[in-house]
Structure 1
Amino acid sequence: MKRTAASALTIFTLALSLLSPVQSYALNDFKVAPATSWGYIYAGPSLAKAQTRSPKVAYLEQKSKFVVNYKNFPEWAKKDFQAAVDIWGANFKSSVPITIEATWSRVAAYSVLGSARPGNFYSGFDGAPDPSLWYPSALANALAGKDLDSENPEMVIQVNSTAGWNTRNDGAPRVNEYDLQSVFLHEMGHGLGFLSTDSYDNFFGYGTIEQPTPYDAYAQLPDGRRLADLPSPSLELGKALTSTLVWSGALGIAANGGVKPLLYTPARYEEGSSVSHLDEETYSKSELNRIMTPNLDAGEVFREPGPLLLAMMEDMRRKPPVGVAVGIPQAVRNATALISDGAVIVTFDPPANARSAQITSYSVRNLKTDQVISGMSSPITFTGLKNGTSYPFSIVASNSNGTSDAVITAPVAPTAAWKRFVIDDSSDATNVTSINFNRKPTLLYTDSNSGRLKIATWEGKSWRKLTIDGAGGSTPRTKNPITSPISTCVNGSGTSQTLHIFYSEKVDRDLRYARYDGKSFTYEIIDGNGTAVNDYKDPIRVRTASDVSVSSACVATAAGIQVFYRDESQGILLGASKLKSATKWSYELVDGDRKTDGRSTGDVAFHLKAIFDGKKTFVVYDSVLTINQRKEATSGEVRVASRDTLSTVPWSYYNLDASGSFTPMTGYDISIAKNLSGISASWMIASPATMPSPNRIRWSTLASTPEQNVVTPENFGAPSKFLNTDGNATAFNCAQRLCVLDHSKSTPTIKLVSTEENSAGISSAWVVVNGVRYLVAGYKGQLSMFRP
């Protein structure tokens, strides 16, 4: 069966989403937050005697439908997964199909048999028992009675391919084998909601819960306080995560013989295991209720969710008792006023005691006009303000016991956004790039509504638009929607150039190639359609069956064409090249396979760009070196690989930037451009205070000893994807809007381009039309040009 799901594990179990700031956003009157907490099941010791096979249970009624998209799974493993799906389908009630993205690959932590997380978390949706809590995708959909996000899976499961599995599908593992069906049953429990969103700082002892779930609301300290209500981050919460916790749900207590079920909270916090499991010592010997203990022993099998787990899952469909307001709220944290056009956006983080204080509202006052706006969360926006006039604001939090001290922001002055001109009013341009082709400004962009890849060429007075590929196409085009970033390059001269376009689609996730001579297109699949995954250790490179849809970059010269791309299944940077006289593509591994010869063992090329300076090819890309429990990048590099174009000499490598004590994480996105000063690169970095999210933009020319420049866009909002530089200015997303950093002069400046927020990020490109430089981006569902 052809591959149908993205996401993979490599040296680190890492999702692409970790490179974006972890934050919630509003969508259709409810909020969405990415799921970054995972529940693990660890490999336990061998049982003295393997368990006998449990009799097969006949189910009369399926309560829900599960759809599994497999990534690299062997056929025998799919059978075990389907058996687990059938069991949960008869026990979890939902009218909405539940999609699972399942990946089979190696992991660094050999003791982890499997891990799972929901697709997202949702709060405030219709049908939510408690609008202040965050419900995992499958449970939220079941409660809402509709799919809150049809574009993403409800659950992500990752399995360690190197474990000692029983591959016979007989349900009877030997004493040295692990039962895969049991792992799936357990991990699906996590994906359906048996999961805390906590994290723990092992060095300082701080605990954090950013988005408390119903699981966190039912987890209770012996004195009756809810885990969800403890200050976050705090030492108090950290202590709770490593102390006794029990389940307070009435149904779970009844199923446990009238005793509050004991959760697994060892004195030494265990990543992916603490809190999100039933206590190992108490329940591991229980025939019915041991499925959600943290370990699976060799030879052990689970075949039913068990009455306790099902009762606890049913508790989470009900509203937990509210917490008691303790004291008055402390002051809000990180209050900032952000510049907008005729408006100011006031953002803040809740007080440290927000949960125990049970805050009822926040009030923000414009200290210049005395206008007050109240709300339940950040941000709060003031409109109708005068551009160029400074406004300070104060913020207080209130509960039933009183009001916090006021926090006053630094004054900011609204500013006018750039002028906008619509190019394509029928395309939202979720991905866009630009190039000069046959001496004409040319744009390439994707439309999420139609699923098509399009091209727009400036013909002197208007844009000529054509469809290149995408949903609804006929062979050799794809019928699947195009969803990936686009890379493009040209060779030839004058008006006799050839345009090379690389992209991927949503289903097969192959690297596709369209070649355009200005009159017609030819199509080809470059990689991803191989018969098997080409292992990173294999020195002989051939086509792979890996997911190669994440990123690509190309270089074209008179001698031929090169394209570079991430292998998501292996976490490596690959290359394919074709000489002008050749009939076949040659494949190579560029980086990410070893820590010798200047190479890296990091998880590389989530973002990359390539350029040719007339002599050499330069490939610039990010590398993730470490991740935390939430699978967010905590250290990394911005790397450069270079060599003479299309030569057989080895690549040369150096770091353009690397993590350090003052810059714990660097990368997040990459953009490069060639100008009179050489090749310039831009990327993002984080400070210790903002980890794991970036807060600054750094830029430099490509040099082994770069002179790095940096700017913090404080009053415009934290930077995030996408970056795009023309060498003199860098466009970036600022508080989910579009801004431009002009670094062409000695004193860099930042300008606001657009005001409407887009939680998915705004892709942009620079283009010069009739001698005027424009920034092009998808805005309000339309491909648009902007200029001051």
Structure 2
Amino acid sequence: MRGQLRKSSTFALVLGLLASILLPTQSVALSNFKVAPSTVWGYTYAGKATGVAETRPPKVAYLEQKSKFVVNYKNFPEWAKRDFQAAVDIWSANFASTPQITIDASWGRSASYGVLGSARPGNYYSGFDGAPDQSLWYPSALANALAGKDLEPENPEMVIQVNSLAQWNTRGDGSPKLNEYDLQSVFLHEMGHGLGFLSTDSYDQFFGYGTIEQPTPYDAYAQLPDGRRLSDLPSPSIELGKALTSTLVWAGPLGMAANGGAKPILYTPARYEEGSSVSHLDEATYANLGANSIMTPNLDAGEIFREPGTLLLAMMEDLRRKPPVGVAVGIPQTVRNATALIADSSAIVTFDPPANARTAQITSYSVRNLKTDQVKSSTESPITFTGLKNGTSYSFSIVASNTNGTSDAVITAPITPQAGWKRFVIDDKADARHVTSTTFNGKPLIAYTDSKSGILKIAAWDGKSWKRTTVDGAGGTSGKTKSKITSTISLCVNGSGTKQLLHIFYSESDDRDLRYATYDGKKFVYEIVDGNGVQVNDYKDPVRVRTGSDVSVSNACVATAGGIQVFYRDESQGILLGATKVKGSTKWSYELVDGDRKTDGRSTGDVAFHLKALFDGKKTYVVYDSVLTINQKKQATSGEVRVASRNTLSAEAWSYYNLDSSGSATPMTGFDISIAKTLNGLQATWLISSPATAPNPNRIRWSPVQSNPTQSVATSENYGVPGKYLNTDGAFIAYNCQQRLCVLDSARAVPVIKLVSSEQRPEGIDSAWVVVDRVRYLVAGYKGQLSMFRP
């Protein structure tokens, strides 16, 4: 497994996994434009050692800086930073952009030994002001440059990953030896991908299907010799798959002019190559053309580039212009996967485009309410009908139209709208992006964050009202962080009666350390548990000390009379760490729990993207997910839900078993984790996919936490795709349904689903259960306010 999914590449991996584990794989409307995750990477592969020493090109003098780049380095050595900055200086003089361009750069071992570097845009955007073609998707830096503003200031414009194990020239002299690779050349190449020289295609090696979910201007300029645009071919289809492995040329006028009037030939070998095919210039044609060879897929040992070259710059300029519109061929076929979803006094009608959507050049979709005859039209899914009666059944028909005609109608199964739960506001000034709860001094307590202010708060019930207190957050003093609190939160309590101690674990946005606050009901005491070490504590090192890794992704704690334990993901290496402070001690003891080896019941999977921990009175249990394989989009394709247990605070070895594993009927399992203590023991819940939806989830699964799990499962068809965040109290499971909030009653013989709230939040809705005056409430953010819900 270690050859397939390398630990230190995880910083880039988790960003790619947002599309499948953390967020739905669909476009999201933001303000007056749409955004879709970037999941396809462009690679530079290590070429052969030619045995020919290249003369170092003269330094090109650039008089005008056309843009400003800022690089966030992760684990980079100083010599590599200098090479990166040299490439940044070159591109800043050749790529015009008023908004600043931010790059997240990660230095670590690659998933493939032959890859020198890989890059992708931060996201893709469509429909923004300034977009030359409103139907296409533009990569972050290019979209911002065209819009004249940063469309999403909180996100980077580019993500670059470099293979630390390659045979680099580390001397900084710009003259690699015959067996060395030039890092500055790799950066110049990869920044070209990040700026937009990249197709969003993917290819199924087994079935031969090609897919382009969000066609870009690059895909619109890439054509077959007969003039058909790559962006207009059916997707997914065998036809597109054949195109990806056939001759493709560039049809942009500026690129053609820079290529002597001929259409530049793209790299499309008969056997599709992940990260190389389509997104490069043809290796055989352009391998020995000086600076114009920079975007061929391979960099030979000793090969040097110090400028983008006229051909690449001309093709990049083509991307800023509107490509010729494709021609509608035939009438649209029927829409696919048409579904009506239950909402409060409304219905959400979702569907996928017809298989021939691109060749048909669809102009609109029309949805008819078959009960009221109301018709709504749009250019995309979903379409929402409001003003419906709760308790009344409705069905809908959907047709697709273009300039040639209209498709046959598809009719959805009937659905019955239902009312959401009653809402009570706790804090009208916090959106509760992350929320959790516990019982402290005999009363319910909620911890939550506000994404705008970056502050972490607690709300404690005093018997009459909620008392709100700021714990930590941006601009803090006296041990508090000056950075925004952006992570999940874990709470645990020890002590007795009304003299308990509350333990709060969380992370912030800048240093990404694991922070810790204790609260005795009157004051807070702060410290950093981990992440602020002098260097990364390598997973192979048996001596565990404070690490310099990113430990901000997930955490879970257990508090007992003997002390406090906290468990957390090492994002830099993809492993599960633990820290323990026994009662009376002032120091933390560190350990590696899982993800490092395949002995003693342990795993080499990429573990603990999500985790929870509990103490059942005898043992500590940690439940977490594990990613075993990923696809070319870096989406999780197989995994496990694992349990590690031991006697609390003991030095005994952990015991391990799986609650769930991928199989033929369940390609992927995990996605999120929740556990709860019940009268019968611990209960866990997670999400799974089916072969039809992989790698995305479509079902909810739960089981007692035991080595021989007895699994139960429920689907969520009438409420939409299930997703994180999960939260169970042992009987009721709160989860995200089509980016809304739903609750599944898992204690019934036939599970029942209820809609809690209708607001759709693309980033997901975290929630927690609390009992106030013997009444159970679900707590979550709603319309920017921390709120309680009950039926």
TMscore range, shorter length: over 0.9
Match of 1:514 in 2: 517
Match of 1:605 in 2: 608
Match of 2:279 in 1: 276
Match of 1:757 in 2: 760
Specify the SS of the correspondent of 2:500. strand
Q: Which amino acid aligns with 1:165?
A: W
Specify the SS of the correspondent of 1:289. helix
User: Residue 369 of structure 1: CA displacement?
Assistant: 1.0
Q: Which amino acid aligns with 1:117?
A: R
| Number of residue-to-residue matches in the alignment | 782
Match of 1:771 in 2: 774
User: Which runs of 4 or more aligned residues in structure 1 lie more than 6 Å from their structure 2 counterparts after TM superposition?
Assistant: none
Hey, what's the Cα distance between the residues in 1 that align with 2:494 and 2:150?
Answer: 46
User: Residue 692 of structure 1: CA displacement?
Assistant: 1.4
Q: How does 1:584-603 map to 2 (within 5 A)?
A: 584-603=587-606
RMSD across aligned positions (CA)? 1.0
1:12, 1:627 within 8 Å by CA — same for their partners in 2? no
Hey, what's the Cα distance between the residues in 2 that align with 1:188 and 1:330?
Answer: 39
Match of 2:719 in 1: 716
Of 493, 501, 518, the match for 1:490: 493
Match of 1:264 in 2: 267
Hey, what's the Cα distance between the residues in 2 that align with 1:787 and 1:383?
Answer: 23
Matched, 1:575 2:545: no
Matched, 1:616 2:619: yes
Cα pair distance change 1:399/1:8, threshold 3 Å: farther
Matched, 1:422 2:422: no
User: Residue 150 of structure 1: CA displacement?
Assistant: 0.7
User: Residue 21 of structure 1: CA displacement?
Assistant: 2.5
Match of 1:635 in 2: 638
Cα pair distance change 1:12/1:660, threshold 3 Å: farther
Q: Which amino acid aligns with 1:138?
A: A
Q: Which amino acid aligns with 2:295?
A: M
Specify the SS of the correspondent of 1:149. coil
Identity rate, percent: 77
Match of 1:116 in 2: 119
User: Residue 612 of structure 1: CA displacement?
Assistant: 0.3
Q: Which amino acid aligns with 2:90?
A: I
Q: Which amino acid aligns with 2:92?
A: G
Of 42, 46, 49, the match for 2:45: 42
Match of 1:152 in 2: 155
Match of 2:656 in 1: 653
Specify the SS of the correspondent of 1:254. helix
Match of 1:455 in 2: 458
Of 174, 177, 191, the match for 2:177: 174
User: Residue 437 of structure 1: CA displacement?
Assistant: 0.5
User: Residue 324 of structure 1: CA displacement?
Assistant: 0.4
Matched, 1:30 2:47: no
Of 231, 234, 237, the match for 1:231: 234
Hey, what's the Cα distance between the residues in 1 that align with 2:138 and 2:186?
Answer: 23
Matched, 1:375 2:382: no
Hey, what's the Cα distance between the residues in 2 that align with 1:305 and 1:107?
Answer: 25
Match of 1:3 in 2: none
Cα pair distance change 1:323/1:387, threshold 3 Å: same
1:202-223 Cα deviation digits (max 9, x unpaired): 0000000000000000000000
Cα pair distance change 1:365/1:11, threshold 3 Å: closer
Hey, what's the Cα distance between the residues in 1 that align with 2:358 and 2:86?
Answer: 41
2:432, 2:451 within 8 Å by CA — same for their partners in 1? yes
Hey, what's the Cα distance between the residues in 2 that align with 1:653 and 1:146?
Answer: 50
Match of 1:683 in 2: 686
Match of 1:81 in 2: 84
Unmatched 5+ stretches in structure 1: 1-6
User: Residue 429 of structure 1: CA displacement?
Assistant: 0.7
Q: Which amino acid aligns with 1:657?
A: D
Hey, what's the Cα distance between the residues in 2 that align with 1:178 and 1:731?
Answer: 51
Specify the SS of the correspondent of 2:290. coil
Matched, 1:559 2:562: yes
Q: Which amino acid aligns with 2:399?
A: V
Of 712, 725, 744, the match for 2:747: 744
Match of 2:54 in 1: 51
1:76, 1:168 within 8 Å by CA — same for their partners in 2? yes
Match of 1:328 in 2: 331
1:754-780 Cα deviation digits (max 9, x unpaired): 001111111100000111100000110
Specify the SS of the correspondent of 1:776. strand
User: Residue 746 of structure 1: CA displacement?
Assistant: 1.2
1:8, 1:14 within 8 Å by CA — same for their partners in 2? no
Cα pair distance change 1:124/1:11, threshold 3 Å: closer
Hey, what's the Cα distance between the residues in 1 that align with 2:694 and 2:32?
Answer: 29
1:10, 1:107 within 8 Å by CA — same for their partners in 2? no
Hey, what's the Cα distance between the residues in 1 that align with 2:212 and 2:606?
Answer: 27
Q: How does 1:5-24 map to 2 (within 5 A)?
A: 9-10=9-10, 13-15=13-15, 16-17=17-18, 18-19=20-21, 20-24=23-27
Hey, what's the Cα distance between the residues in 2 that align with 1:594 and 1:8?
Answer: 15
1:9, 1:568 within 8 Å by CA — same for their partners in 2? no
User: Residue 11 of structure 1: CA displacement?
Assistant: 11
1:219-274 Cα deviation digits (max 9, x unpaired): 00000000000000000000000000000000000000000000000000000110
User: Residue 12 of structure 1: CA displacement?
Assistant: 8.9
1:57-84 Cα deviation digits (max 9, x unpaired): 1111000000000000011110000000
Match of 2:388 in 1: 385
Match of 1:526 in 2: 529
Match of 2:74 in 1: 71
Hey, what's the Cα distance between the residues in 2 that align with 1:548 and 1:50?
Answer: 43
Match of 1:4 in 2: none
2:281, 2:295 within 8 Å by CA — same for their partners in 1? yes
Cα pair distance change 1:14/1:520, threshold 3 Å: closer
| TM-score for both structures, normalised by structure 1 | 0.98
Match of 2:341 in 1: 338
Hey, what's the Cα distance between the residues in 1 that align with 2:241 and 2:72?
Answer: 37
Hey, what's the Cα distance between the residues in 2 that align with 1:11 and 1:362?
Answer: 40
Of 700, 704, 718, the match for 2:703: 700
Match of 1:411 in 2: 414
Specify the SS of the correspondent of 2:189. helix
Hey, what's the Cα distance between the residues in 1 that align with 2:680 and 2:747?
Answer: 11
Hey, what's the Cα distance between the residues in 2 that align with 1:651 and 1:44?
Answer: 45
Hey, what's the Cα distance between the residues in 2 that align with 1:167 and 1:12?
Answer: 23
Hey, what's the Cα distance between the residues in 1 that align with 2:359 and 2:217?
Answer: 16
Q: Which amino acid aligns with 1:177?
A: E
Specify the SS of the correspondent of 2:373. coil
Match of 2:203 in 1: 200
Hey, what's the Cα distance between the residues in 2 that align with 1:525 and 1:306?
Answer: 48
1:326-376 Cα deviation digits (max 9, x unpaired): 011000000000000000000000000000000010000111111111110
Q: Which amino acid aligns with 2:453?
A: S
Match of 2:304 in 1: 301
Specify the SS of the correspondent of 2:495. strand
Specify the SS of the correspondent of 2:726. strand
User: Residue 10 of structure 1: CA displacement?
Assistant: 4.0
1:11, 1:603 within 8 Å by CA — same for their partners in 2? no
1:346, 1:378 within 8 Å by CA — same for their partners in 2? yes
1:12, 1:108 within 8 Å by CA — same for their partners in 2? no
User: Residue 14 of structure 1: CA displacement?
Assistant: 4.2
Specify the SS of the correspondent of 1:496. coil
1:376-396 Cα deviation digits (max 9, x unpaired): 000001111110111011100
Hey, what's the Cα distance between the residues in 1 that align with 2:9 and 2:554?
Answer: 16
Q: Which amino acid aligns with 1:367?
A: L
Of 673, 676, 686, the match for 2:676: 673
1:11, 1:108 within 8 Å by CA — same for their partners in 2? no
User: Residue 581 of structure 1: CA displacement?
Assistant: 2.2
Q: How does 1:186-225 map to 2 (within 5 A)?
A: 186-225=189-228
